Amino acid sequence: MASTFDLATDEFLTCEIHSESTLPLLSYFIECKKHNQNGSRRIFQKVKSEIGDADRPIPDESEQLQDVLLALMKDGPGKPGEKIPGCPTVTIVGAGVSGLCAGYELKKAGFKVTILEASSRVGGRVKAFREPSFAHGLHGEGGAMRIPANHYLLHKYIEDFGLKPQLFDFEMKNKFIYISGYGETLTYDRFNQLLHDKDAKLLSLFPGLRECEKGKTCDTLFTDAVRQVVDDFWDAYKKAADEVSFPEKIQVQAIKDAYAAITKKYDSYTLRSYLTDVAGWSEDAINLYDLGNAHVVFENGFIESFKDAFLSSNKSGAQAGMQQLQEGMDVVPNAFVSSERKEKSLVDDIIYGARVTEIGIHEQSDPQIPLQAPVKVTYEVTANSLKKSITSDYLILAIPYTAQRTIAKSKPFVPMQEMAVRDVRYVEVTKILLQYKKRWWEKVFTEAGQGLDGGLVSDLPIRYTMFPKTDGNTQFEHSNRGVIMAAYTFEQDATILGSLSPERRIQIAAENLNRIFPEAKSLDLLEAGASQVFPADELAGGSAFCYFGPMQKTKFLDTMQRPDWENRVFFAGEQASFTHGWIQGAFEAGLRCVQQIWSVAVKDSRAMPSAINRVKAFGLLLLGLPSSTLAKPIEIQPRQNVPGDTPFVSFDACSDSQRHDIEKAWADVVTLVGVSKQFNPPGTIESRIFGDDINLRFEDISRIYTIFHNIEELSKNGRKMQISCQDVYQDHRGANDQVTCGNVIQSSSGSIGAYAFSTEATIEKSTIVLCSPFWAPGQEFLGEIVDNLRKAPEGDRKNPNLMVGKGKILLHELTHLPALAETSTNDVIVTDQLLNDDSNVKAYGIRMVERFARNKNWRARTAKNADSYAWYATEKYFEGMFGTPNAAYEKRDGEEDDTPTEDPAPPAGPTKALNIILENKRHGVPMDKDFYDTMNWLFYSTDFGTASQCALNPALAIHADVSIDTLSIDALRDDHFPGGTFDVKTQDGDCQYKNDGTGNPGALWCGDQGHSCRAHPDRRTFTYCRDLDKSAQIQHAAMVVCEW
């Protein structure tokens, strides 16, 4: 986060000018300032405008939460100092830093907290080795060990706990490198110089390096490789940012949009596949980068590696401003249980030796929280194997997913959460610490002109060694001894060392260091050792920390941050954060859970406004709602009807068969509203039904969630509502009510299927009247609709007009009831909205609902339109089975979005398509003499809505050369269309695609039948195809689509 600088000092210069190449200019400005400050500033502004943006570090993704999280720590999750009424209870599984943080803040806010910890200490994966592993006064870090300058949450707790004086600098820079084949230990500066000079001996170890890769250091290679990603980030950032301030403030929306942009484009890659497929690295460039750096794990998702790239860069590592704590990192978790916290301390709120074995919903309801049953947690006392249990209103799981896998559940989480628990990728780490009688490395470093401390990288089993900071380190004030992290290894290297006996591990590490620095004779000085083998750590689930694999951020992160079990179970732990592998991420997830639980627990609506800004800042995670489309649809089965399990107390004039149908329709309603848990703005259906700005309309999202939730809870509250099978009510007439069953609404739907009214804003005073269309043939139940769609031609399975049934009609009417919108008056909040103020046409039927949402002037009313709710739940349900339903609205000739029409129901949507792909096939690497590329048009005949980029099937309809002057993928940035006539085979037989070459998308002719074509909406999105041709790099862009 930028600080505030005094423009009257030279700090405004050092804040603004970042590039090393501008340092001479900086010196000139500072000198100028002594004589003429205003002139200096004018020169500065002129030069800045000419040279453009200076290099600057990409902000951490968690910075978008900085203000809201720091405010929560300062003031609590509600109003400043506000306590939750009734002292709700929370059980937290795991006393790692995430669980401790959540427990500490919840206790401050008035919750009764109990933490179950399987071990006998706090801290989890924050662990320091002291006596008896090492001599008195010495320690080494077995887990988390570094504090970047921008990790604001950890720095804030350090400040709050009075630990700030313990901070001291940590040297990130690599000082030495040892590669066995080279035959000698090199300083890292010398290694870089040899690379720059293209030293023959060194390059002989990497014979496959291309000419364009030679002469570059590892830092330079990587910087060049990710330059396009950096540019993409800042391009997206600038589009969303306000006018840049001076100094720059945190731009929350810009950070969100920029990370969303690069995630969408690059999340499908591992670090390795990005470097080979996108950056075009040779295998020997991969090998060089691996051996020349620490912390390189090629199978990590590229986005994760990009965010933490500073760990593998000497330059960026120094810029990270790393620090450590004098007494060890475990002083942070210990501070949460310290007596210095007084009544806030968690010292008496932790049960140690409590291994959780099962979680479930307790049978008995808690009267303090209506409609919800408390969570029961069963645990085993490790000292005597006794089974005990505890119930609470809420549960936080603050342990790694890998550890959660061994905990039984009475019912599963939502499918995507279950998949995340199984599949999310974790990294294995083994660390070996060695104690020496004398700090021999200080002499080695000094004689080589490398200071006293720093890093060593090698290709030996230890891989990476960290020599501790000497200056200011209180461990070394009165002793010549020292502890070093002799080995810090990942993945296979960690498994290899972890498989050895503890004694053998220590021996291997000591021998490796002696081989690298033989002149130090360090074996003679070795006294003790210890190791942390995370693959063998049962309580850590066998892993050190989460690092997403390809597409896991896209698929899982939103779901991982949402509560489950109807807002009873919450997920902490660094895996459920933006900042994997760091204490910062653990705190971030813990604080999110605090705000989520507070938001759920607060019953007094007057307490909610104080939290609304935090709801916005969290991107709606506080209500369990994600902020972007990051999860695949979840298939939900139709709810099995339980006899008598309905909210209806009376069935006026209903026969036994009608009553039976009503109960089945109610079961369908409960199934449909269950999909509200997947409300995923700005997802495709969410945007199509409620408008593409729905992710920014926080009050509407809250209303949508509230109404769906309240409908789902109706049957749990007893039989209270009236339902009637005859239209005899005359006293309900009101401006917003339907008049009679005979009403004809001006839409594609004809007569109404039901209407609802209330005489008071209570369920008891609410009635639904079912009209004849409700009972008509064709109005079926979900199970029957599903069977029909499964038997239907594939092209009809996504037709929303075939998804309508009794459950949708009943759901539509329920949304009208004022009691479900939680209004204090009897005003109807959710009505049948008109398309616009000049129309008597209602937003009723899927086409009008979509049209209503498309109109920028009126889409804010979609959250008050009953059919929008009914269609959203219906389409979301069937999406889980058949994919996203087809859009129903497409503007017709002469039709304005805000002008009513009396058009009949639209025909079924298109079912067939011809996709035209522009392919760039690249052989070799640009600037190499053997480099060349070709471009082709690929015509694919396929089903409507099916993407063809990188498709192996269906087979090509035709393949044609491209006549574009510049044979470059950059040509895709303009609109290019195939000119001429092309014979293509489609599902309708032999057809011809025709284009006169005048810059239009052309048309498809099948006999006398013509089909219009349009520019493909994804035409500026390039997809890298890794499986089509191993000898070339292939990129596809969809340029034209013809649909019929």
DSSP-assigned states of every residue in 378-437:
EEEETTT--EEEEEESEEEE-S-HHHHTTSEESS---HHHHHHHHH--EE-EEEEEEEES
User: DSSP secondary-structure letter at 215?
Assistant: T
Is the peptide bond preceding residue 954 cis, with omega within 30 degrees of 0?
yes
Q: What is the pLDDT of residue 626?
A: 33
Confidence of residue 667 (pLDDT cuts 50, 70, 90): confident
* Residue 48: Cβ-neighbour burial (10 angstroms; 0-12, 13-18, 19+): middle
In CATH, what number does 648-729+741-882 get?
A: 3.40.390.10
Parallel/antiparallel/unpaired status of strands 167-169 and 140-141:
unpaired
> Is the predicted pLDDT of residue 386 greater than 70, yes or no?
yes
> Is the predicted pLDDT of residue 392 greater than 90, yes or no?
yes
Beta bridge partner(s), residue 805:
780
pTM listed for this prediction: 0.61
> Using CA atoms, how far apart are residues 575 and 544, in angstroms rounded to an integer?
11
> Using CA atoms, how far apart are residues 99 and 514, in angstroms rounded to an integer?
41
> Using CA atoms, how far apart are residues 667 and 784, in angstroms rounded to an integer?
13
Q: What is the pLDDT of residues 905-937, one digit of tens each?
A: 444 567 788 888 888 887 776 556 666 777 888
Here the tokens at position 1017 are 């909406």
Q: What is the pLDDT of residue 607?
A: 37
pLDDT average, residue stretch 786-800: 85
DSSP H or E segment with residue 651? strand 648-652
Least confident of 157-161, 238-242, 548-552: 238-242
User: DSSP secondary-structure letter at 455?
Assistant: E
Here the tokens at position 1021 are 């999105």
Selection from 343, 351, 345, 337 nearest residue 114 by Cα: 351
Torsion of CA 483, 484, 489, 493, to 10 degrees: -80
Is the peptide bond preceding residue 132 cis, with omega within 30 degrees of 0?
yes
> Is the predicted pLDDT of residue 994 greater than 70, yes or no?
yes
Here the tokens at position 200 are 């023959």
pLDDT average, residue stretch 677-681: 66
pLDDT average, residue stretch 44-58: 63
CA quadruple 620, 622, 624, 626: dihedral positive or negative?
A: positive
Contact 498, 431 (CB under 8 A): no
Q: How many residues does the chain have?
A: 1044
Rounded percentage of the chain residues whose pLDDT exceeds 90 = 43
The 10 Å Cβ neighbour count of residue 756 is 24
Q: What is the pLDDT of residue 268?
A: 92
> Using CA atoms, how far apart are residues 590 and 582, in angstroms rounded to an integer?
13
Of 72 and 1019, the structure prediction assigns the larger pLDDT to: 72
Contact 103, 115 (CB under 8 A): yes
Contact 206, 287 (CB under 8 A): yes
Contact 330, 161 (CB under 8 A): no
> Using CA atoms, how far apart are residues 874 and 484, in angstroms rounded to an integer?
61
Contact 574, 585 (CB under 8 A): yes
Beta bridge partner(s), residue 482:
436
The 10 Å Cβ neighbour count of residue 133 is 18
Least confident of 110-124, 311-325, 957-971: 957-971
Here the tokens at position 250 are 């945190």
Average pLDDT in the chain: 82
Confidence of residue 120 (pLDDT cuts 50, 70, 90): very high
Contact 778, 667 (CB under 8 A): no
Q: Is 562 helix (H, G, I), strand (E, B) or coil?
A: coil
Alpha-carbon distances, residue 151 vs 62, 164, 322, 579, 924 (angstroms): 9, 14, 10, 10, 42
Q: What is the pLDDT of residues 816-872, one digit of tens each?
A: 887 776 654 556 678 888 877 666 678 888 888 888 888 888 888 888 888 999 999
Rounded percentage of the chain residues whose pLDDT exceeds 70 = 77
> Using CA atoms, how far apart are residues 822 and 604, in angstroms rounded to an integer?
12
Q: What is the pLDDT of residue 137?
A: 93
pLDDT average, residue stretch 271-299: 93
Which range scores top for mean pLDDT: 6-10, 248-252, 589-593, 743-747? 589-593
In 602-727, alpha helices (H): 609-617, 656-674, 684-690, 698-713
- The domain segmentation of the chain, as residue ranges, is 59-122+346-425+570-603, 648-729+741-882, 912-1043
> Using CA atoms, how far apart are residues 557 and 585, in angstroms rounded to an integer?
13
Q: What is the pLDDT of residues 137-180, one digit of tens each?
A: 999 999 999 999 999 999 999 999 999 999 998 877 889 999 99
> Using CA atoms, how far apart are residues 185 and 177, in angstroms rounded to an integer?
6
Of 467 and 877, the structure prediction assigns the larger pLDDT to: 467
> Using CA atoms, how far apart are residues 352 and 118, in angstroms rounded to an integer?
6
The 10 Å Cβ neighbour count of residue 377 is 25
Q: What is the pLDDT of residues 422-477, one digit of tens each?
A: 999 999 999 999 999 999 999 999 999 999 999 999 999 999 999 999 888 999 98
Q: What is the pLDDT of residues 24-40, one digit of tens each?
A: 566 566 656 555 555 66
Q: What is the pLDDT of residue 326?
A: 93
Confidence of residue 314 (pLDDT cuts 50, 70, 90): low
> Using CA atoms, how far apart are residues 1018 and 947, in angstroms rounded to an integer?
10
> Using CA atoms, how far apart are residues 719 and 735, in angstroms rounded to an integer?
28
> Using CA atoms, how far apart are residues 1043 and 139, in angstroms rounded to an integer?
68
CATH architecture type of domain 59-122+346-425+570-603: 3-Layer(bba) Sandwich (3.50)
Of 817 and 1008, the structure prediction assigns the larger pLDDT to: 817
